[in-house]
Amino acid sequence: MIPIPIEETGLEVRPFAEYRVIVDARTPKEFDEDHIPGAVNFPVVDQDEFAAVGTLHRTDPHAAYRLGVGYALRRMSTQMDQLLPMLDATDRVLVYCFRGGKRSALWADNLRTIGFKVDVVRGGWKRYRRWVLASLQELPKAFQYRVISGPTGAGKTRLLHALEREGAQVLDLEAMARHRGSLLGDLPGVPQPSHKFFDTLVFQRLRTFRQDRPVWVEDESKRIGAVQMSDAMYEAITEGSMVRVDAPMNERVRLWHEDYGHFEADLPAMVARLTKLNELVGNAEIKHWQELAKAGQAAELFERLMTHHYDPAYARTARRHRPGYDALPVLQLESLSPQALQVHARSLLATGVDLPSVPRAQNGA
C-alpha cells in the first residue's frame, strides 16, 4: 500500500486498517453517498429526524438539541446491542460524522464510558472528502499504466480479470463504476455508486498498488455512465503504454450474448435506447436495427451494432487521443474462452508486453 503519513492526511487518526470497527454516525442517505471503505453505518438519527432537528434549530436551538439527544439515545440503545458483539475489550474504534461534531461525540463518549479506545476523525467526513480529492490529483501520477485497448466485445475486461488472477496490479474502473461504459452499459438491478463514492473506491484501490510494478487498466472514456475519473487519473491513463487487442466477430457476438443477454428479452426496447445516435449513424441505420430487433435476430443485431456503430466510434476516439493508434500491432485473441485468455495474460506478464506498445502523443496531440 502507498504509505501516506497520518499527519499528512489531516484526519489525525491511525491508518484505517488498525481499527476493529469504523462507525459512521451519519444518516443512511449520507452514508450511501460516500463513506470510508469498511465503515459500518450506525446513524445517531435517521434522515427524517435529522431534518426535524435542523428545522427546529433555526428557531429554537435549545429545543432542537433536546429533541436530537432524545432521538439519539433511543436509537443508540438498540444499535449498541448490534455494535458491541463486533468488539473485544481491547479493540480500538474510529468514529466520524459530517464534521466530527455532536454525532461523533455521542458515539465516542458512550464507547469510551464502556472502556473502548476511541478516535474521532478530525473534521469528519468533510475533511476526509477533501483528502480524497487532493490525493486523486497526485496519486495517479505515481504509476506506470498498461492500457488494454480494442473494440467493444473484444474481451478487454475479461483479459483484465485474467491478468489479475495471474497476480497483476489491475484497476478495474468499470467494476468500481458498476457500468460497462456505453449507452447500454448499465448493469440490470445494480445502481451506480455516487460520484463521490466512486472517487473513494478509486483512491483506496490505488493505495494498494506498488509503484515499482505497472498497473493494468482498460481504455476508458473519462465518463463511465454517470460517474467520471478525476482529471489526473484520466491523464495518467491516457499517457500509459497501450496494448491493442481484437477478436473474431463470432467470439465478440458470443460475448455480447453473455454480457448483454438481458436485452434479448426485449430487443426493440434496447434499440429504442440507441435512437439518440441517429445523428451519428443516420436514420436508415436506426431503422435497420429496429427491423432486426422486431424480427428477434439478436446475433445479427449485435454484430450490426458493432460493425456500424461501436467499432467506428471507438476507432475515431482512439485516433483522436492517440495518433499512432492505427500503427499499433494487434494482439489477436482467437478465442475469448477463460483458458485462452489466461494463456494470453501469462504471456503479457512474462514479457512485460506481448507486443510493442506506443505511448500517447505528448501535449494531448
Identify the CA nearest to 11 among candidates 2, 20, 22. Answer: 22
Rounded-to-integer distance, Cα 30 and Cα 22, Å = 15
Q: Is 98 helix (H, G, I), strand (E, B) or coil?
A: coil
Sorted by sequence, the CB contacts under 8 Å of residue 304 that are 6+ apart come out as 288, 289, 292
Q: Which residue matches cell numbers 481484437?
A: 246
Catalytic residue among 97, 201, 202, 318: 97
Residue 336 is which amino acid? L
Sorted by sequence, the CB contacts under 8 Å of residue 289 that are 6+ apart come out as 271, 274, 301, 304, 305
- Identify each DSSP E strand in 150-228 by its residue range: 169-171, 215-218, 223-224, 227-228
Identify the CA nearest to 234 among candidates 222, 250, 251, 247. Answer: 222
Rg, Å, the chain Cα set? 25
Q: Which residue matches cell numbers 495518467?
A: 236
Sorted by sequence, the CB contacts under 8 Å of residue 38 that are 6+ apart come out as 16, 22
Rounded-to-integer distance, Cα 31 and Cα 45, Å = 12
Residue 97 catalytic?
Answer: yes
Sorted by sequence, the CB contacts under 8 Å of residue 37 that are 6+ apart come out as 16, 200, 201, 204
Residue 267 contacts residue 293 (beta carbons within 8 Å): yes
Query: Taking phi first (over 0 means left), then psi (-120 to 50 degrees means alpha), and beta for anything else, what does residue 271 get?
Result: alpha
Q: Is 41 helix (H, G, I), strand (E, B) or coil?
A: strand
Q: Annotated active-site positions, please?
A: 97
